[in-house]
Amino acid sequence: MQRVPEPELMDDAEQARAYAEADFAEPHQAFVTYFQERFPRHRPQRVVDLGCGPCDVTVRFARAYPDCQILALDGSEPMLAQAHALLAGAQMLERVTLVQRSLPDLSSVGHDRDTLISNSLLHHLHDPLVLWRTVHALAVSGAVVQVMDLMRPPSRSAVLHLVEAYASDAPDVLRRDFANSLSAAFTPTEIVAQLAEAGLALRVEVVSDRHVLVSGQL
Ligand SMILES: C[S@@+](CC[C@H](N)C(=O)[O-])C[C@H]1O[C@@H](n2cnc3c(N)ncnc32)[C@H](O)[C@@H]1O
């Protein structure tokens, strides 16, 4: 099935609210567990979360690594408003700094990160190399990277099957976004080619029926 790109930013207030209220506990906690399994000796200090959205992954990561400070970056103002509320409730405002930037804009963002994480951003980007160039730009030598995203199913019927399997009770706006995101996602083969073009030696693994994980140390 051909890729169908979707808008980059989730900057509609209703869309951001529905996304922030959705239950992504299982894949988001799995994101943290995958990181712990792949980098058991790494101690994150200066982390960036690219496309942080409402910061549910960010908060889970911060709880797993109490010594780190996280720069949480997103281009969407409504998403960052959701993130601010979540961080305040979790008493994380001192450890997580929100910054509004639309990649590839990295103005005034320090290029000193020892850890780069990103969940569900890649499929939003019209040019996926923007993410991989950002990794190059922000990371110090030896930095650890973990990116997780949806992967594109082979057919429209496979998309609808996943929406039924994982979002049957979700609001319409979320079901629509999930179908659009699956259709906009990249295949593992496409991601391998992106990494080769970007000169990044990272590992690509299929970790569920809908997720692909990219990880490694620079
Ligand atoms: C599907 S959400 C994922 C949010 C969060 N990482 C999570 O896992 O819940 C994708 C986020 O990426 C943001 N985004 C998309 N394109 C972006 C860009 N070019 N620069 C910065 N943020 C972007 C969107 O605004 C949205 O908040």
**What local confidence, expressed as pLDDT, does residue 7 receive?**
94
Is residue 71 assigned to a domain? yes
Is residue 46 assigned to a domain? yes
Asked if 195 contacts 203 with a C-beta cutoff of 8 angstroms, the reply is no
CB of 103 sitting under 6 A from ligand 1: yes
- Can you give the CATH number for the domain in which 117 is found? 3.40.50.150
Nearest ligand 1 atom, CA 79: 27
pTM value is 0.97
Is residue 53 assigned to a domain? yes
> Which one, of 140, 133, 148, 151, lies nearest residue 214 by Cα?
148
Domain housing 76:
13-217
CB of 119 sitting under 6 A from ligand 1: yes
Is residue 2 assigned to a domain? no
Is residue 140 assigned to a domain? yes
Enter the tokens of residue 96: 């997580």
**Rounded to the nearest whole angstrom, what is the distance from the C-alpha of residue 123 to the centroid of ligand 1?**
9
Q: What are the strands, taking DSSP E only, across 51-138?
A: 69-74, 96-100, 113-119
Give the residue, out of 11, 96, 124, 178, with the most ligand 1 atoms within 8 A of its beta carbon, to mutate for a pocket test: 124
Cα-based distances in Å from 77 to 8, 15, 84, 87: 13, 12, 10, 15
Q: Which protein residue's CA is at the shortest distance from atom 1 of ligand 1?
A: 120
**What local confidence, expressed as pLDDT, does residue 93 receive?**
97
**What local confidence, expressed as pLDDT, does residue 3 receive?**
98
Asked if 184 contacts 3 with a C-beta cutoff of 8 angstroms, the reply is yes
Distance CA 212, CA 218 (A): 19
Asked if 186 contacts 149 with a C-beta cutoff of 8 angstroms, the reply is yes
Is residue 7 assigned to a domain? no
**What local confidence, expressed as pLDDT, does residue 191 receive?**
98
Is residue 83 assigned to a domain? yes
- Number of folded domains in the chain? 1
Q: What length does the chain have?
A: 218
Enter the tokens of residue 208: 């569920």
**What local confidence, expressed as pLDDT, does residue 142 receive?**
96
**Rounded to the nearest whole angstrom, what is the distance from the C-alpha of residue 124 to the centroid of ligand 1?**
7
Burial code (b: 16+ CB inside 10 Å, e: under 16) for 127-161 equals ebebbbbbbeebbeeebbbbbbbbbbbeeeeebee
Q: Which stretches of the chain drop beneath a pLDDT of 50?
A: none
Distance CA 154, CA 105 (A): 33
**Rounded to the nearest whole angstrom, what is the distance from the C-alpha of residue 71 to the centroid of ligand 1?**
14
CB of 207 sitting under 6 A from ligand 1: no
